[in-house]
A and B are shown apart, each in its own frame.
Chain A
Amino acid sequence: MRPVGVPVPRLLAAELPALVPLALLAVLWASDPIAALGLVAGAAAAAIVIRRLVPDGGREFSAIPLLGAVAYLSITVPIGPATDGLVGISALGVLAWFALADAQEVRPGPLLGAMVLPALGLGIALSVSILFPVARQSVGIAAVLLVGALALLAWSLLQGAPEPASEAVPPSL
């Protein structure tokens, strides 16, 4: 299915998982909420325009404005568990945008299944940062590295297992 022709309301609905946390961040914690909201709205509009106008590369590049909005808000909002969580959820929303903007029919089961590991990583990092408030930054980063290392280990175990060598066939006479 080609990306061109996806209706705008459906694209807008696909953006909601990312837009809602971004809008909350902008309204509640941004220093200039109006400008931040404008930035979020502009990013949403840009993503839809790219998605509709660029036939082949639209799928890949359409998330860049959304990621830009996430990056801007994440460095401008104050540090805190709520902002940490909302930024993480908005990143999950950007991931969901790829699936929701493409699928002709949304199947929640597989989509939620694909989100489990990223959400789990985010949850571990958040809980670590909340439970250890004294050294938030270093512990948070250590948790990230730990989760990443665990994920890589799991992946290598799942994917990199060597195939059992086949027995040598004796040459026939």
Chain B
Amino acid sequence: MSATAASGTRTLQPVALVVLLGGGILLALAVLSGSPVPVFAALPLLLAPVAALAAGPKADAAADLSWAIEGGGAAIDVRGTLRPRAPLDAENLSIRFYRPPALEELRPPKIVRAPDAIEFELAWRAPFPLLATIPRPEVVWQDPLGLVAFGVTLDSPALRLERFPPEARRLGSVRLPHTTLQPGEIRSRNVGPSGDFFSVRAAGPTDTPRQINWRATARTGRLLANDYYLERTGDIVLLLDLRPSSLGVVRDSTLLAIARAGALGIASGFLSEKARVGLGLFDEFLTAVPLGSGRIQRYRIAQALQKATLAETPGPSERLAVSMRRYFPYGVTTVLLSPLADDEALLVVTHLQRRGYPTVVLSASPMPLFASPSPNASPEAEAALRLMRLVRRRRIGEAWRVGPVVDWEDYWSLAPFVRFLSTPARPSRGGA
């Protein structure tokens, strides 16, 4: 039986109303017919909801939920334990889970009841890289007859699901140009073996004894290491084009979910190597997270990406390039995540390049979202798919005239992108 009740509230279920109504009608029949027999049927029906209310928890019903996401890649296993606080018992608790719409269910939830706890296991699958929030389950105490429900309060947070291609972790090895000085940064004249001294940081397990700053360590009582500029990577801006395209809302939303996950993966990869990462979200106007580094910056970027949705009113491409000036310095490496589904998307690259932002396009291809040709597919459908592939190839070719493009067709792999960034740039032959 699935009951609903907001946490901390008690509600009579529709069944209880039917039972009470039935009892009332039987009483009325007894009066009208002059027979006491219906009264004996009405009595249990009228008493049952009262008994259910009396048997329910008196004060705020609460339970402790400990849960976590396990598994890797496409596999998402949510495991947890729900422990009701006294005087609640686990027997009469029902638990309802909310699955984010993008995820697919592999198996029905597995729920094991013990006298003092409920253990559960959910097996889901992510069809593509995505960021999602798994809301807390709804836990309801319900009497055995299902007449009354009490919402049980849980104080555990919702779970954040982040699934992105594993290659994003290797992005930290890519050298990026350092475009601006950090706040308060002053170039030192004492150039060390690894370049200018930058700062003192907490030592890691991979630091050699020569990297340890022994004086600072003696002063603070914990291992500190020197940090040099050449060990640091530079700056990168991730730019998401949120404008709707001719692909339609459903495919646009899917591609945006993939781009959000990819952006967070790329940001995490660079931030783990102390690079500065910025984020731009362009719908009608540009929303920016300025360049920054560290775990807080990752949190900021994750928050902004979680909120990113398809634009209702698309802005002109030039506005994006102009707005970039307000937040990001010239010359910063820019990764534009766009499906390049329209010619308008191509214009963004042109404008960004003209305004001085070296842009790499990471284009999540819409082709895997179209049905793959089956053996029974009609010749017309196959021809249409082939035409779409040609159009896609032509559009990417046009984009290559302006800037490099990485076609992201296998959503679970960023290997082509990592390979492209790791390859040293060749001098242009055109002399431009």
> Among B2, B29, B37, which residue has its beta carbon within 8 angstroms of that of A84?
B37
A94 on the B face (CB < 8 A): yes
A–B complex contacts, Cβ < 8 Å, 5 sampled: A2-B2, A71-B38, A85-B40, A118-B47, A140-B40
B54 touches A155 (CB 8 A): yes
Number of interface residues of B (CB under 8 A): 41
Query: Which chain B positions have C-beta within 8 A of A98?
Result: 1, 15, 145-147
Alpha-carbon gap, A126 to B35, bound state (A): 14
Chain A interface (Cβ within 8 Å of chain B)?
1-2, 57, 59-61, 63-64, 67, 70-71, 74-75, 77, 79, 83-85, 87-88, 90-92, 94-96, 98-99, 102-103, 107, 110-111, 113-114, 116-119, 121-122, 125-126, 129, 136-137, 140-141, 144, 147-148, 151-152, 154-155, 158-159, 161
**Chain A residues within 8 Å of B52, by CB:** 114
CB distance from A158 to the nearest CB of B (A): 5
Given the complex, which residues of A lie within 8 Å of B403, measured CB to CB?
none
Q: In whole angstroms, what is the CA distance A103 to B113 when docked?
A: 14
Please state if A117 and B18 are interface contacts (CB–CB under 8 Å).
no
Q: Say how far A95's CB is from chain B's closest CB, in angstroms.
A: 5
Say whether chain B's binding surface is mostly helix, strand, loop, or mixed. helix
Partner of A125, one of B22, B35, B43: B43
A122 to B: closest C-beta gap in Å? 5
Provide the bound-state CA to CA distance between A61 and B143, in Å.
19
Which B residues lie within 8 Å of A91 (CB)? 26, 40-45
B144 adjacent to A111 (CB under 8 Å): yes
Find out whether the CB atom of B50 lies under 8 angstroms from the CB atom of A77. no
**A64 closest partner in B (C-beta):** B18
B44 touches A121 (CB 8 A): yes
Residues of chain B having any CB pair with chain A under 8 Å: 1-2, 14-15, 17-19, 22, 25-26, 29-30, 33, 35-48, 50-55, 58, 91-92, 143-147
- What CA separation (Å) do A77 and B40 show in the bound complex? 13
| Contact indicator A95/B48 (Cβ below 8 Å) | yes
Q: Which residue of A lies closest to B96 (CB)?
A: A1
CB–CB B40/A1 < 8 A = no
Of the candidates A57, A75, A85, A118, the one whose C-beta lies within 8 Å of that of B48 is A118
Taking a contact as CB atoms under 8 Å apart, the answer to whether A148 and B92 are in contact is no
Top 6 nearest A-B pairs by Cβ distance? A117-B51, A118-B44, A88-B40, A91-B41, A102-B1, A74-B38
Task: Give every chain A residue within 8 A of B2 (Cβ-Cβ).
Answer: 1-2
Interface centre among A77, A102, A136, A154 (most CB of B within 10 A): A102
**Given A75-B33, A158-B54, A159-B58, A121 and B43 contact (CB-CB distance below 8 Å):** yes
Query: Which of B17, B37, B47, B146 is close to A77, meaning CB atoms less than 8 Å apart?
Result: B37
Q: Of B51, B92, B146, which is within 8 A of A118 by CB?
A: B51
